[in-house]
Structure 1
Amino acid sequence: MTRLPIDTDYLLETLGKLLSIPSPTGYTDTVVRFVTRELEKMGLEAELTRRGAIRVVRQGSRREGARAIVTHLDTLGAQVKALKDNGRLALVPVGHWSARFAEGARATIFAEKGAYRGTILPLKASGHTFNDEVDTLPVGWDYVELRVDAMARDAADLERLQIDIGDIVAIDPQPEFIDNGFIVSRHLDDKAGVAVALTALKALQQEHAVTPVDIHFLFTIAEEVGVGAASILTPNVASMVAIDNGTSAPGQNSSEFGVTIAMADQTGPFDYHLTKRLVELCRDNDIRYQKDVFRYYRSDSASALEAGADVRTALITFGVDASHGYERIHMHALRSLSELVTAYVSSPVTIKRDFEATAEGIKGFTRQKTVEAEQALTPDIENEELGPQS
């Protein structure tokens, strides 16, 4: 077994700290500083891109064919769309989430001269005034507004408060850590994934684990708007495993327990060989797992491939109930994911051809078995080195 012991107390404590830091896409400087400090405490040196995506390289036995673990620091949120005549704010979402989950949320508006608190309410919020109309109002961002907890009777008052169009609005996570292991909060996507990555990295450092190749731990800042890992990979990375939320819902096979390995999302199948390897590692290390296919979902891996990165990608997830809403996960999944990350990065490289970006000819290339292909093999081809299957 290659999995390492996991400090679950550190995992929970770190998740709590991450959730306490507002970080909607476009407003991630503070959480970037926090994660960078955590990495420095582990004796690691972080590199930051211009906008704040983080890369930390934990050296292995060789540079070529490096592996990457990627999570994202940004969360869902909103922006001010308009200053309304009634002194309230019209909003547009940051990231894709339903206004159904915005109704009743407490929030912070980050204005030019300071922050204000407020509540997102339906346009018809008072039952004593609107009676049954409260229940018949449509769901949508056009039907909610943000009430600011300050003297704001009209648009002029909002201007005096120096609240303006485009100001970022962070939604309160309202976390609850329950004694039975369940965790309920907004923004577990992907604060929980970040906590998993940091905990796995802490285990590697404490155990002085030797890895066959360099391991790049990546923390992106714009996954919720589709940018993700588009510009943070270096050419020597051969494979990248994203940690994000799985969708525990009717019609899905994800679970709030163990690791959910995604076989495909809306952008297509994940890498056959890398995904197969992760499944094998779960079996070999007695890590509970299940597989799933996500229909309305994309992650950091999609943005990397679309940007032209020639890397194998996979997605491992913690099952989330009510994803992009008021989410629920279980500690069992977070511990299992941390264990799998340590097992993966410590495991031998099985596709040696991946040490180079390109190679001449078919020698060492991977193989996916089919009946037709096996029957078509000539004796000469059968004697050729076809390369690993995973």
Structure 2
Amino acid sequence: MNEPINIDPAYLTDRLKDLLSVASPTGFTDEAVRYTARELEKLGLDVMLTRRGAIRALRPGAARRPARGIVSHLDTLGAQVKALKDNGRMELVSIGHWSARFAEGARVSIFSSKGIYRGTILPLKASGHTFNEEIDTQPSGWPYVELRVDALSRHRHDLLQLGIDVGDIVAVDPQPEFLENGFIVSRHLDDKAGVAIMLAALEAMQRQEVATPVDTYWLFTIGEEVGVGASAALVPEIASLVAVDNGTTAPGQASQEFGVTLAMADQTGPFDYHLSKKLHQICLDQGIPVQKDVFRYYRSDAASAVEAGHDVRTALITFGVDASHGYERIHLHALMSNAKLAVHYAMSEVQIGRDAEEISGLRGFTHQTVAEAEQDLEATQEIDPSTGG
């Protein structure tokens, strides 16, 4: 294909705005699944759902194997009611790993048996006129915040009358801002921006009738923030899995809010040598800005897939996020860059043919040094095809 890949920025940002408007903390993802599945169907893909709602959408290629998977997650951080307090407020427990420091002052929705209530997460000592300097010296953490519901609730019994109970899901408002200079500030950009990247990549492929050498599966998971992610989303045909998620722009990290940040390792160890190398080379060949990074306190859908027993090559492409799992900021440039890389990866020729089979012999197995690869090539050339070698 000679036509350059054209990612539509308006389509990408519109999908991100829509996704951010749908509450989807882990355990409460049905509506986000419905929205995404319908969008995939509009794009012409065959869509299948697991029992709990992970999405598997197939875009056929010239061959079924070795298929490729591209994955992001629909679930976000949030909270859950831990206890009903005698003062008519609620104790919370976090959904996913995030600091209560970023919860203080958040506006939220409480999904109860009698409807949706609005509320605010507050520190236990929230009034400066009452507690004076104690509001600055109290500890930070989930035991030191509480949820105030915007309804008449002065006692624990009032909460029960409202239909609020232990275990109710609490969704935190994203409060998105899309600035004219390309910056986007919001909660839950992890990983709704990743979902928008994948949808924008697919929209470009469908619009430009991009052909691929093998099938690609576009996967959207619902439990990444609690560690289970892609554990139940893959099919045996998938040999390589590329996760699309956030990078961390912070001191000591190489991630940036522009271009692609290619993760070389996370807390579970190195990503696949050959797949990561290929993605980096695609960026260089296509003029996509790229930098590499290593994340020490991070895991993604790729980790959950491998831990579930899927023998797949894994890689992680990311968009740099400032203040990840807090008040997050990204730039449209990174989203566009990752979408373009996803398309070019899906278009690329298969380099490791033996990946079509889950188990095979040494023939065609990979090398990780140039010298050994050259020796193997010379040995292969010396074999007489007529001998069946």
Q: TM-score range by the shorter chain?
A: over 0.9
Partner residue in 1 for 2:166: 165
Shift of 1:382: 4.4
Match of 2:214, SS state, is coil
- Is 1:364–2:364 an aligned residue pair? yes
Partners of 1:61 and 1:382 in 2: CA distance: 31
Partner residue in 2 for 1:321: 322
Give 1:59-138 correspondences, 5 Å limit: 59-138=60-139
Shift of 1:384: 3.2
Match of 1:297, SS state, is coil
CA contact (8 A) 1:301 1:313 kept: yes
Partners of 1:19 and 1:365 in 2: CA distance: 44
Partner residue in 1 for 2:386: none
Residue type matched to 2:197 in 1?
A: V
CA contact (8 A) 1:3 1:342 kept: no
Partner residue in 2 for 1:220: 221
Taking every aligned residue pair, what percent have the same amino acid on both sides? 66
- Is 1:384–2:377 an aligned residue pair? no
Partner residue in 2 for 1:286: 287
Partners of 2:149 and 2:223 in 1: CA distance: 27
Give 1:302-313 correspondences, 5 Å limit: 302-313=303-314
- Is 1:7–2:3 an aligned residue pair? no
- Is 1:144–2:145 an aligned residue pair? yes
Distance 1:118 1:20, change over 3 A: same
Match of 2:45, SS state, is coil
Partners of 2:216 and 2:108 in 1: CA distance: 37
Shift of 1:113: 1.5
- Is 1:274–2:275 an aligned residue pair? yes
Partners of 2:308 and 2:209 in 1: CA distance: 34
Residue type matched to 1:17 in 2?
A: D
Q: Deviations over 1:124-152 (max 9, x none)?
A: 00000000000001010000000000000
Match of 2:206, SS state, is helix
Residue type matched to 2:323 in 1?
A: A
Distance 1:283 1:54, change over 3 A: same
Please identify runs of 4+ aligned residues in structure 1 that moved more than 4 A. Answer: none
* TM score, norm. by length of structure 2: 0.96
Q: Structure 2 unaligned runs (5+)? A: 383-389
CA contact (8 A) 2:45 2:57 kept: yes
Q: Deviations over 1:50-103 (max 9, x none)?
A: 000000000000101000000000000000000000000000000000000000
Q: Deviations over 1:28-55 (max 9, x none)?
A: 0000000011011112221000000000
Match of 2:92, SS state, is strand
Residue type matched to 1:4 in 2?
A: I
Match of 1:345, SS state, is helix
Shift of 1:3: 5.6
Match of 2:204, SS state, is helix
Residue type matched to 2:365 in 1?
A: F
Partners of 1:363 and 1:30 in 2: CA distance: 47
Partners of 1:39 and 1:192 in 2: CA distance: 16
Shift of 1:385: 7.0
Partner residue in 1 for 2:385: none
Partners of 1:26 and 1:374 in 2: CA distance: 47
Partner residue in 1 for 2:259: 258
Partners of 1:61 and 1:174 in 2: CA distance: 43
Give 1:166-181 correspondences, 5 Å limit: 166-181=167-182
Residue type matched to 1:128 in 2?
A: H
CA contact (8 A) 1:364 1:385 kept: no
Match of 2:367, SS state, is coil
Q: CA RMSD in A?
A: 1.5
Q: Deviations over 1:315-336 (max 9, x none)?
A: 0000000000000000000000
CA contact (8 A) 2:367 2:373 kept: no
Match of 1:63, SS state, is strand
Match of 1:276, SS state, is helix
Partner residue in 2 for 1:233: 234
Q: Deviations over 1:94-116 (max 9, x none)?
A: 00000000000000000011010
* TM score, norm. by length of structure 1: 0.95
Shift of 1:374: 8.1
CA contact (8 A) 1:61 1:211 kept: yes
Partners of 1:43 and 1:369 in 2: CA distance: 42
Distance 1:280 1:147, change over 3 A: same
Partners of 2:27 and 2:381 in 1: CA distance: 49
Q: Structure 1 unaligned runs (5+)? A: none
